[in-house]
Amino acid sequence: MDSLPVVSPAVGWNTWSFERLTALSYVDGDRLELELRVSILDEIERERTSTFGWGDVVDLGPHAYDGSYLRLELNAGFEARFELEAASEGDRLALRVTPTRTSARRVVVEMVRPGRCGSWEREGDTWRLGDWRVACEGALPPHTLYLRAPGPCAAGGRGERLVVAASRDEAPGGADAFIDAARERYAGRCVRSGGALGEAAEAITRAAAWNTVYDVSGRGICTTASRDWCRDWQSVVLFGWDTYFHGLVAAVEDPAVAWANFAASLAGATPSGFVPNWSLGSGVATVDRSQPPVGAFAVWKTWLRDLDDGRLATLYPGLLRWHRWWMGARGTPEGLLAWGSDADAAYAFPELKQAMYGAQICCCYESGMDNSPMFDGVPYDPVTGRMAQADVGLTSLYALDAECLAAIAGALGRGEDAASLGAEADAVRERINALLWCEEEGIYLNRRADGRWSRRRSPTSFYPLLCGAPDARQLARLVDGHLLNPAEFWGEYPLPSIARSDPAYRDNDYWRGRIWAPMVYLVAAGLRRCGRRETARALAGAGLRMMLANWREGRAIYENYSAETGSGGDVPNADPLYVWGGLLGLAALEEVVDATPEGLRFCAGLVGGASVERLPLRGASYDVHAHDDRLEVWRDGTLYARLGSVGALVVDRDANRVGVEARAGAEWAVGGWAPGGTVWVGAGGVPKAWTADADGWVRGRVP
């Protein structure tokens, strides 16, 4: 099995720069060759705006991950608005910046070759440096306008558009036609959704693609939580668990970007083997603490979509080291886990000790739930480096991590690892039930080191669903008594980050009462695993409606949302384009089509029906049309499956297996098999052998 490089290098034009949203950069491996930076000049105020944030966005348009097409509309002050549209192919770029409102402001494009010496030569509207040529249509002669810039600039007329074309050797003509053709091509290949899913697929893809940058310091292509955060931190900043969720969102349209994110995360692992809470491109990172162990879960789910054994094998050792670090560093005497911060962390700036490590707040940061009421008043033990409280969420995620690593090891043919990790997952699951299930209240709870229960409840109480811990009786009490209880977690906007009955819920501040997409996504996944699919569908549907309402209102996918109004913009500390907010859309999309260990699952049943088109799964492109009463699936443009009922089909071509979940009498059919071949069909729980007809179709009726 070939080993792939950990870092994913970038090649070509894209919005690679974390510093400038409106810069187009050409990167070739580890070299930044050329950058065209777009700014807006206000001659009256003598100011040139070159840094734009998400608050300046009017319309977040499409963005192909490969940079082949993108569009963005921005506010540029005093009602001035401009549309930036670009297309690329190879080393060719066409860039068009057009005013969308009457304005006297000018478009300026600065040409930068970082770290390169040499003289720009100019012939009319064309600039040349080495083998690069940049041609500008509608630019003023440079000597007519005073601009403060270190290199050559092209400035458009007042209120006029500016078109720039760049390539090696010959500056291409026909920029307008090139951009228009690229727009049509991308529109014909991008993932899109409809029906009850609305524009969820497009929205979450745009949020992730516009936040995907290139870390020239060595981590390669990665999807940041938000460009605004990177600009504030003055570096490409990656957060521990965020980056794995970003990969899941990116995989909806381009699994390669998901793999790149996972590689970038593990490239920043500490010498101890754990992925840090946060790390910068400069090399600074939190060496005292990690973040929730969702890495193997995200990698396994992505492999189920993409089946890339090479990348799976490359990532496995790093994921395994991270997993093994947890029990050694955060394990309690009972074999559970608690959040922590190493008191002897070797930071180079001891004057920041209390802010950086060896403090209770740092344990909270490791949890990813910075100010959660779950940790109020919980002491920190500097001897053990842990909070004095076993955490049900962390312990459950650890069990899930072991289970997913066992599956990865099995897929890679590492049977001994698979058996050991599987046994560990079973043992931790048993300890969760024995030590963290509160029979009195019918819910999983955190437990203090002195044995007392922590009575505060958050969605982490439902994380044992993810590792399959509860039995049928526990499941009923947990879901019906607490999750679906509107006094605790249910309602029009379900799953606040602390129970509605908790006094801290009213704070509506970050993890003190607001809704967070990762919690919704994980709990929905746990519900599906444990057979509560209707509840999972209701939870995912509510999150989807909330996400779409905010997207349609302001092209925003927020970091968190109000559990009272569903608004993300009601507080100042909810970033308006935070990638993991797209997990709300992904949870709903997975209700229609998902890649599972049993095979590709296609499902009908969302109220109003739903559709997904051009979804990449296992080397093919799928269109799924799930109506109120039937299901149709198309594979690479050819009809592939039908179900004449509300229900689901699970198809595993490699194992010649089909699973049918539908009412009695429902007719179904799946194509693409070898004519005359035998397919095992699970109908009513009883496997039956079926024979494909001469056209490669297997057909049947649910008994």
Report the alpha-carbon distance of residue 51 to residue 232 in Å, rounded: 12
Report whether 148 contacts 110 (CB < 8 A): no
> E strand or H helix at 386, and its extent?
strand 386-387
Q: Which pair of tokens denotes residue 643?
A: 């179900």
Q: What are the phi and psi torsion angles at 509 (to 5°)?
A: -130, 105
Q: What is the DSSP letter of 169?
A: S
Q: What is the pLDDT of residue 10?
A: 83
The structure tokens listed for 651 are 């198809």
How many percent of the chain have pLDDT more than 90?
Answer: 81
Contacts (Cβ under 8 Å, ≥6 apart) of 40: 48, 49, 76, 77, 80, 82, 105, 106, 107, 108
Q: Is the pLDDT of residue 355 over 80?
A: no
Q: How confident is the model at residue 1 (pLDDT cuts 50, 70, 90)?
A: very low
Q: What is the DSSP string of 202-232?
A: HHHHHHHHHTEEEETTTTEEEE-S-HHHHHH
The arithmetic mean of pLDDT across residues 384-410, rounded, is 98
Q: What is the pLDDT of residues 266-292, one digit of tens each?
A: 999 999 999 999 999 888 899 999 999
State the pLDDT confidence band at 171, using cuts at 50, 70 and 90.
Answer: low
- Enumerate residues 6+ apart whose C-beta is below 8 A from 351: none
- Report the chain's mean pLDDT, rounded to a whole number: 93
Contacts for 453 with CB less than 8 Å, ≥ 6 apart: 438, 445, 446, 447
* Res. 6: pLDDT tops 60: no
Question: What pLDDT shows up at residue 142?
Answer: 73
Position 218 scores a pLDDT of: 84
Q: How confident is the model at residue 352 (pLDDT cuts 50, 70, 90)?
A: low
| Residues shown for the chain | 703
Q: What are phi and psi of 616, to 5 degrees?
A: -80, 125
Question: pLDDT at position 29, please?
Answer: 80
Share of the chain above pLDDT 70, in %: 97
Indicate the pLDDT class of residue 117, thresholds 50, 70 and 90: low
7 falls in which pLDDT band (50, 70, 90)? low
User: What pLDDT, on a 0 to 100 scale, did the predictor assign at position 230?
Assistant: 92
Torsion of CA 290, 295, 214, 166, to 10 degrees: -160
Q: Which residue has the higher pLDDT, 584 or 79?
A: 584
Of residues 131 and 464, more confidently modeled: 464
**What sign does the CA torsion over 257, 260, 262, 265 have?**
negative
Q: Which of 106-120, 341-355, 475-489, 623-637 has the lowest mean pLDDT?
A: 341-355
CA 8 – CA 27 distance, rounded (Å): 12
pLDDT for the residue numbered 351 = 57
Determine the average pLDDT of the residues in 132-153.
Answer: 82
Residue 423 has a CB neighbour count (10 Å cut-off) of 12
Q: Which two tokens stand for residue 470?
A: 């509860």
Question: Does residue 473 register a pLDDT over 60?
Answer: yes
Q: What is the Cα 642 distance to its own chain's centre? A: 31
Res 30: pLDDT: 75
- Whether the pLDDT of residue 639 is over 70: the answer is yes
List, for residues 665-686, the tens digit of each pLDDT value.
999 999 999 998 899 998 666 7
The one-letter amino acid at 105: R
pLDDT-derived band at 3 (thresholds 50, 70, 90) equals: very low
Categorize the per-residue pLDDT at 353 as very low, low, confident or very high, splitting at 50, 70 and 90. Answer: low
User: Which pLDDT belongs to residue 44?
Assistant: 79
The DSSP output letter for 515 is B
> How far is it, in rounded angstroms, from Cα 324 to Cα 322?
6
- Give the CA distances from residue 365 to residues 125, 341, 362, in Å, rounded to whole numbers and listed in that order: 53, 9, 5
What pLDDT score was predicted for residue 2? 35
The pLDDT of 119-125, averaged and rounded, is 81
* Distance between CA atoms of residues 426 and 410, nearest Å: 16
In angstroms, the CA 539 to CA 63 distance is 29
- Asked whether the beta carbons of 140 and 153 are under 8 A apart, the reply is no
pLDDT digits (tens, 9 = 90+) for 574-632: 999 999 999 999 999 999 999 999 999 999 877 788 999 999 999 999 999 998 889 99
**Reported pTM:** 0.96
* Helices marked H in 218-294: 227-233, 240-250, 255-267
Average pLDDT estimate for 62-71: 97
Taking the C-alpha atoms of residue 41 and residue 153, their distance in angstroms, rounded to an integer, is: 12
pLDDT tier at 553, thresholds 50, 70, 90: very high
Burial class of 442 by CB neighbour count within 10 A (0 to 12, 13 to 18, 19+): middle
